[in-house]
Chain A
Amino acid sequence: MGLRVYGMPMSPCTATVLALLVEKGLDYELVPVNVRAGQHKQPSFLALNPFGQIPALEDGDLQLFESRAITKYISYKYKDMGPDLMRSDPAEVAGVAAWMEAEAHHYHPAIGPLVFECIFKQMFGGAPDEAVVAAQAEKLGKVLDVYEETLSKRKYLAGDFYSLADLHHLPYTHYLMCTPHASLITSRKHVNAWWEDISSRPAWQKVYGVTRSTCTTRVLVCLEEKGVDYELVPVNMAAGAHKQQPFLSLNPFGQIPAFEDGDLKLFESRAISKYVAHRYKDIGTDLLGTSPAETYSVGVWLEVEAYQFNPAIQPMVGELLVKPSRGGTPDAALVPAQAAKLGKVLDVYEEVLAKRKYLAGDVLSLADLHHLPCAHYIMLTPYASLFASRKHMLKTMDLKFDSRGKRAQS
């Protein structure tokens, strides 16, 4: 099919495009653009978007930029694939267009700077400007009063059907919900109901939700890195399949993932990935170190991930991402406490990574990979600043995220 999106999943404008592609069931390739390294201002990217902003789209010979134009193009060209979010009836088409304009000219100017101050600024080392935050929150409140009125009369913005107009609100609102200003949404009954509906759509969950457990991803990252073929067998956790037979015969603790390789059955993600790394040592990247000393160093950092990093970060993923995707609210005391613990751990990592390229040495190892799943999810929250503010950590993560994390998450 040849659809290529140039951008980064954590960027709201890129996420909008991805949400639509997933909604329509279209195959695409996500080409990472390293904004932190200034790749978006390089000639090769400027050829795609002379304004030097992500996302950009390639579809065969066509090159396009501006997320709202991209989504319109995709909706038009692939009208018959998946849901028709642009509609066909002229009145409905016009309604969708009107609310897309409303998003662009009323909603976005209010929420954009608010989200920037509260979330993105920290990722680049800045601190929120409280005056701006307060002013923007007030503006957004007024816009949402209009939305509240509209949504009291119909289910979605342009009518009783989900459309592009609703979709365009997803990414920025997602980020807003990670801040204390989430109350702007939750305090308005119809806006809140609308938000819960659109944000629980499976396509959206695939872009920003936790659709795959971090422990499962830990195993997949290893398999992907090694280039080993595997079959992913879904376990219906919502239906409690993990607590029943036949799953319990794979893991008597009733936890995912479980693993089968011929006659061997294994559970515990870190044991599985270690087995894969050993068994397929000669295929793909050697993740276990090339000398005994390196191997033991990898061993240390595997344990540091398991007993220092993970206990700090895992509850944050649970509170900030898993809980909201099930309609809950993050524990306001627990999250900062965990963030403080994680910060202390990352201070040590920062020192280590100032002196060498990867945790266990100068070569990527299983120890680095094990950090990817939880770190990936935290990068979608305001606590991304914990990583972004530590320059050596950031450099190492950029090296790892670009393709590895993407492969395991898709």
Chain B
Amino acid sequence: MAVKVYGAAYASCARRVLACLIEKGVDFEIIPVDLLSGEQKKPEFLKLQPFGMVPVIQDGDFTLYESRAIIRCYAQKYADQGTDLLGKTLEERATVEQWLEVEGQNFNPHIYTLVLQLLYFPKMGVPQDEKLIRESEEKLGKVLDVYEERLSKSKYLGGDFFSLADLTHLPFTQYLVNDIGKEYLIKHREHVKRWWEDISNRPSWKKVLQL
């Protein structure tokens, strides 16, 4: 039975989940949620996800939310199937977890602000905050300097294998490089650029972009 993914195929956090499911060869079905009309805040949806957010997955009678929890779950549940996204030893797994946390705690806040300010606010008619954009760009740059150092010594963030730690960066970095004119942040860093070109050219990611 296919896993039901509630959300929108164009939404970043859903894409994080979809990329993982494709890497693991898990069948899924996207159930669209009309974000623009606020479907996710309605009582019916809140029964699935009490914080009113997407994506949510339903697998039989089992419900999960928070995209980074979902990807960990499926990477673990289907450990022996598809790409190994977690590592084989406790130590490898710990390093993958560490860089997953880095994405969520150090990388995401700044890139999310940039995407919101430069991509979504113009569409919504909300004025941009120039100062905040500059600050976020600077902070993201500092984070990427650390990535540059890491990736000069390691093929991928979690080690020498592609893992959840890399996958989790795909959705928002896609916007950064292609939609908001800040691709220099990636392209001017030799190892980050190499890493981005590698992970964004994986068949799974290309498939996600076509959904």
Contacts and interface: CB of A to CB of B under 8 A. Distances in A.
Interface in B25-73: 50-51, 62, 64-66, 68-69, 72-73
A300 B65 CA distance: 6
Interface string A348-367: 10011000000000000000
A275 interface: yes
A252 B66 contact: no
B102 interface: yes
Given A278-B93, A279-B90, A299-B69, 14 more contacts: A252-B146, A253-B102, A264-B94, A268-B98, A268-B105, A271-B94, A271-B98, A275-B97, A278-B94, A295-B76, A299-B73, A300-B65, A306-B105, A307-B66
Interface of B: 50-51, 62, 64-66, 68-69, 72-73, 76-77, 90-91, 93-95, 97-98, 100-102, 104-106, 143, 146, 149-150
Nearest to B145: A252
Contacts of A300: 64-66, 69
A399 interface: no
A267 B98 contact: yes
Contact of A292 (B77, B93, B95): B77
Contacts of B62: 293, 296
Q: Is the interface of B mostly helix, strand, loop or mixed?
A: helix
A264 B69 contact: no
Contact of B150 (A252, A264, A266, A270): A252
A86 B68 CA distance: 57
B50 A352 contact: yes
| Residue with the greatest number of chain A CB neighbours at <10 A, chosen from B62, B66, B93, B149 | B66
Contacts of A299: 64, 66, 69, 72-73
Interface string A367-380: 00000000000000
Nearest to B61: A293
The 6 tightest CB contacts between A and B, nearest first, are A303-B66, A268-B101, A275-B94, A271-B97, A271-B98, A299-B69
A274 B129 CA distance: 37
Interface residues of A, number: 31
Interface string A308-327: 10000000000000000000
A94 interface: no
B94 A253 contact: no
A271 to B, nearest CB: 4
B101 A271 contact: yes
Contacts of B69: 296, 299-300, 302-303
